[in-house]
Structure 1
Amino acid sequence: MTDVAERPRVGTLLRDWRRRRRMSQLDLALEAGVSARHLSFVETGRSRPSPELLLHLADELEVPLRERNGLLLAAGYAPAFDQRSLDDPEMRAVRDAMQLVLDGHDPYPALVVDRTWNLLAANRGVAVLTDGADPRLLEPPANCMRLALHRRGLAPRIRNLGEWRAHLLERLRRQVALSGDGELEALLAEVAAYPGPPGDEGHAGAESAIAVPLRIAGPDGEELRFISTVTTFGTAVEVTAAELSIESFFPADAATAGALRAYLR
């Protein structure tokens, strides 16, 4: 167990979040409606913030719920946001909503991931994307970033691997920058070290002026083309639900739509 004395000070954590958001003390004080002097005292440890002030500052800094609990613990308060297993009875409404989206998107691929990209649920269409992947990469908890970029995963079948790889790595970099999550940072370092295609410039082409496509070889070798959307629970006040993302892949042309319907009829 980590000794209380080893925990980061709440003022240090607040300062780190403020700097991550590229805000000065004065900027944050003005946004939060508190004095810059009091905020300075909180960051230096000269003043202990109330839980209400901590949550107010965290709201202004857009701190994720998991890390808001960390701020409260660092200040000696109890966490404010519950964290349940997705299997808990209280999470049934969340599970039902996820399944409704997955089923409604069939036969096109859709999947649910947690904050570190571990696969939690998927519909039938995802099997078309994962066809031929090393079964070890699909063993729970399968990680979708590893699965997409590993040479024994989807990477050999992705026709625009340089473009898609750059897109995924940029998403991960943004997540790391916004969350400060150590697990995400380690995942980014791992998958960024996977080899890219020869001559990879890592940028989107002219055809991607609207959205970066996923161009992947189908089970019969034909090219399937998708664009994707991400859905989150925008009003979540529970940690697990707030960290869920549903990624839905839409056919980018009629040939892809027809192929998916034929495969999964």
Structure 2
Amino acid sequence: MNSQPFPRAVPSDSAGTQLRLIRRQAGLSQLDLALISGISQRHLSCIETGRATPGTGTLHNLLMALQAPLEQCNNVFLAAGYAPRYQATPLASPSMQAIHEAIQHVLHANNPAPAIVLDSQWQVLAANASTQVLFDLVGLTPDSAQGLNLLVTLLQPGGLGDHLINACEIRRVAWQRAAREALDNRELAHLLKQLPAPAMPEVLSDELPPLVMTRVNSQQGELNFLSTFTTFGMPQDVTVNALRIEHLIPADPHTWHTMRRAYEQASQ
């Protein structure tokens, strides 16, 4: 890739300013980042204050040490006067065949528990058969989860959120997570502005469970799920970096039995 400087586009903040912000958001001191990246603290300080111009190799090293999202990395490269380093390859591209097959394998292996693939705007790109089974159990009507936006169906009336026993809790968690992600995602920030913000609690419970469960009101009674995420390790493409697979793991024997029986019936 051509690493020669070219006229600066966006963003307006300098590369050093952005690096300092990313470092602080990561909770690292200059000394911490210097130790992780192998760059001297003095040189790092000069980069952050604009007294030194980093090369592409130094920028890459610092951003990887900070585990910054690749879209954010591209912004830093642009601000430094370099071409964006990371491409956003369409998921349907032949070069993404291995990624596509890995996703399908994970989705299928998760049956009879639901699993969905989300992009950086919370759009559902793919889902396994058990996701439709769960929709049928709660009485949702979409022919397929693919094409839905998870944030929209959780927050807007008439969506999945209306079928959750702890809807207020799940909506708050989803809103807060999306709001954090929207700090560096203009499309997601625009979507959030169009959605109703959930009410915040006046009083918190003194007893907290190990994690927040998704509690669903279904035709077979209450179904409880634990939520986990799968992401790709060491991504070098914006599309791959944004992908995440959410797994809803049944949290009790009744939920396991209900999902397994419904999945087997749907598969016949």
Over the residues paired in the alignment, what is the CA RMSD in angstroms?
Answer: 3.0
1:98-137 alignment runs, 5 A limit = 98-131=103-136, 132-133=139-140
Tell me which residue corresponds to 1:183. Answer: 187
1:151 to 132, 152, 157: 157
Check whether the contact 2:124–2:145 (CA below 8 A) recurs between aligned residues.
no
| Displacement after TM superposition at 1:119 (Å) | 0.5
Can you give the 5+ residue segments of structure 2 that lack an aligned partner in the other structure?
Answer: 1-6
1:103-124 deviation per Cα after TM superposition (whole angstroms, max 9, x unaligned): 1122221100012211100012
Specify the alignment match of 2:97 in structure 1: 92
Instruction: Tell me what 1:62 maps to.
Output: 67
For the 8 Å contact 2:127–2:145, the answer to whether it is kept is no
- Between stretches 154-163 and 127-136, larger displacement belongs to 127-136
Question: In 2, distance between residues paired with 1:253 and 1:189?
Answer: 36
Deviating more after overlay: 163-172 vs 150-159:
163-172
Q: In structure 2, give the amino acid aligned to 1:247.
A: E
Q: TM-score normalized by structure 2?
A: 0.80
Distance 1:165 1:13 in 2: 31
Give the corresponding residue for 1:216: 216
Structure 2 equivalent of residue 229 of structure 1: 228
Moved more, 164-173 or 241-250: 164-173
Is 1:48 aligned to 2:53, yes or no?
Answer: yes
Displacement of 1:222: 2.0
**CA distance in 1 between partners of 2:154 and 2:133 (Å):** 13
Give, in whole Å, the separation in 2 of the partners of 1:232 and 1:20. Answer: 21
Q: Which deviates more, 39-48 or 26-35? A: 26-35
- Deviation (angstroms), 1:15: 2.3
Write the distance in 1 (CA, Å) between the matches of 2:174 and 2:187.
16
Q: Are the counterparts in 1 of residues 214 and 225 from structure 2 also a CA contact under 8 Å?
A: yes
* Identity between Structure 1 and Structure 2 (%): 38
Alignment partners' CA distance in 1, 2:158 and 2:185: 27
Deviation at 1:90, TM superposition (A): 0.9
Q: CA deviation at 1:231?
A: 0.8
Are residues 139 and 26 of structure 1, via their aligned partners in 2, closer, same or farther at CA, if it must alter by over 3 Å? closer
Cα-to-partner distance string for 1:176-226 (whole Å, 9 max, x where unaligned):
57xx333344445554x3445xx95586785x62332111122x2622111
Cα gap change, 1:60/1:139 in structure 2, threshold over 3 Å: closer, same or farther?
closer
Q: Structure 1 residues 204 and 173 mapped into 2: Cα distance closer, same or farther (>3 Å)?
A: farther
Q: Does 2:160 match 1:161? A: no
Q: CA deviation at 1:4?
A: 3.3
TM-score by length of 1: 0.81
In 2 relative to 1, CA 53–162 (structure 1 residues): closer, same or farther, beyond 3 Å?
same
1:33 to 25, 38, 63: 38
2: CA distance, partners of 1:166 / 1:238: 30
Q: How many residue pairs are counted as aligned between the two chains?
A: 255
